[in-house]
């Protein structure tokens, strides 16, 4: 009887999950186009005039989110004067990836580089938040011809002490993870998503309607949830391998981070990166949390425009010297 009861409960939870997934996808449909690359199909939203002067700006979101978390505070505003590309990272938002293990910055950098090539973008300024902060150095190191400059917002850049949360560790276990993803993650996540997002914002307050406006619930879909788990649980080991290479970065870098970020420590990640890459401009926001693109959007837009001007000035000087 106990076994039967468990089976019935799991079946009900699985049904609730499937109904909820359909509701999420109906409420937050794709808004851009899809680009096929090796191992993935990427959802891309283009904003601003395609012939805008200056380099395109590519915005890449972090973990547990989608391109909407970069569009609302930054993309729509930057698009007034720039060509802006927003990308759902492989396996997130409306992007898919063939292999759940394609979770590393190096692999996702290769996929994004291929997508930018198919969009006809030769060089761009890349901006990445949190998990995607680790993706920015990977792009600069492995695809320097594509990358004119990088801007890192509250970035992960080095290995850290501790882990990524017990639930994520459990969900990375074969069989156990998919069972959780297809049964309890949606009901539990729906209950916790608001409080979890508020925690990420602290000490700043989460704006009213933020979860709805940025389609945060899309991460609860089983396959996306599992992709996110793999991204998080494999990142630390990747930073062990990637971080010794930072001194080889040659492009201009700007980091914007908060000094009270409880999610990604400024002292563990941003300050050591700035010391390893001398051309880095480090902007530390007093009493700032993990979401500067929301609470300090004006600062970040100013920094993006400044680094774009620096790149343009450098290009003009090089042209004159030739």
User: Would 194 be classed as within a structural domain?
Assistant: yes
Which pLDDT belongs to residue 132?
98
List phi, psi (to 5°) of 50.
-65, -25
Domain that holds residue 263: 2-310
User: Would 81 be classed as within a structural domain?
Assistant: yes
User: Would 317 be classed as within a structural domain?
Assistant: no
Distance CA 13, CA 18 (A): 9
User: Would 316 be classed as within a structural domain?
Assistant: no
Distance CA 128, CA 33 (A): 20
Which pLDDT belongs to residue 316?
59
Quick one: how far is CA 218 from the chain centroid? 14
Count of CB atoms situated within 10 Å of the CB of 194: 13
- Residue holding tokens 């799991």? 10
User: Would 302 be classed as within a structural domain?
Assistant: yes
Q: What is the CATH number of the domain that holds 263?
A: 3.40.50.1820
User: Would 318 be classed as within a structural domain?
Assistant: no
Task: Supply the pTM of this predicted model.
Answer: 0.95
How does pLDDT run across 77-104, given as a tens digit for each residue?
A: 999 999 999 999 999 999 999 999 999 9
User: Where in 39-129 does DSSP place strands (E)?
Assistant: 40-47, 57-60, 84-87, 96-97, 124-129
Strand partners, 149: 125
Distance CA 204, CA 292 (A): 9
User: Would 320 be classed as within a structural domain?
Assistant: no
Cα angle, residue 112 at apex, residues 109 and 114 outer, rounded to 5°: 110
User: Would 315 be classed as within a structural domain?
Assistant: no
> Is the preceding peptide bond at 203 cis, omega within 30 degrees of 0?
yes
Distance CA 234, CA 227 (A): 11
User: Which of the residues in the chain have pLDDT under 50?
Assistant: 319-320
Residue 161, both tokens: 């002490």
Which pLDDT belongs to residue 320?
45
Classify burial at 288, counting beta carbons within 10 Å of its beta carbon; exposed 0-12, middle 13-18, buried 19 or more.
buried
Distance CA 178, CA 221 (A): 11
Which pLDDT belongs to residue 318?
53
Which pLDDT belongs to residue 200?
96
Distance CA 225, CA 124 (A): 30
Q: How many domains does the chain fold into?
A: 1
- Residue holding tokens 């704006």? 207
Dihedral angle over CA of 280, 286, 289, 290, nearest 10:
-10
């Amino acid at each position: 009887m106990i076994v039967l009861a468990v089976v019935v409960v799991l079946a009900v939870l699985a049904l609730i999950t499937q109904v909820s997934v359909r509701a999420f996808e109906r409420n937050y449909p794709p808004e851009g186009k899809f680009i096929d690359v090796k191992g993935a199909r990427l959802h891309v939203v283009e904003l601003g005039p395609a012939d805008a002067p200056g380099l395109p700006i590519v915005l890449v979101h972090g973990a547990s989110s989608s391109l909407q978390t970069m569009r609302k505070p930054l993309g729509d505003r930057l698009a007034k004067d720039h060509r802006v590309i927003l990308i759902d990272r492989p396996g997130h938002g409306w992007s898919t990836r063939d292999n759940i293990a394609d979770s590393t910055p190096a692999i996702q950098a290769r996929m994004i580089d291929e997508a930018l090539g198919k969009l006809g973008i030769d060089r761009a300024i890349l901006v990445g938040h949190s998990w995607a902060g680790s993706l920015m150095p990977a792009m600069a190191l492995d695809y320097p011809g594509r990358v004119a400059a990088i801007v890192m917002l509250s970035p992960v850049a080095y290995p850290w002490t501790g882990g990524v949360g017990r639930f994520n560790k459990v969900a990375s276990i074969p069989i156990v993870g998919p069972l959780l993803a297809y049964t309890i993650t949606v009901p539990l996540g729906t209950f916790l998503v608001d409080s979890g997002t508020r925690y990420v914002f602290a000490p700043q307050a989460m704006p009213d309607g933020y979860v709805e406006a940025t389609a945060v619930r899309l991460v609860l879909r089983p396959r996306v949830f599992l992709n996110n788990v793999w991204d998080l649980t494999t990142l630390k080991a990747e930073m062990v391998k990637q971080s010794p290479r930072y001194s080889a970065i040659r492009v201009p870098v700007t980091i914007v981070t908060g000094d009270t970020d409880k999610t990604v420590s400024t002292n563990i990640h941003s300050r050591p990166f700035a010391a390893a890459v001398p051309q880095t401009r480090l902007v530390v926001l007093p009493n700032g949390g993990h979401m500067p693109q929301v609470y300090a959007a004006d600062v970040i837009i100013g920094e993006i425009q400044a680094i774009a001007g620096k790149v343009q000035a450098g290009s003009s000087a090089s042209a004159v010297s030739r």
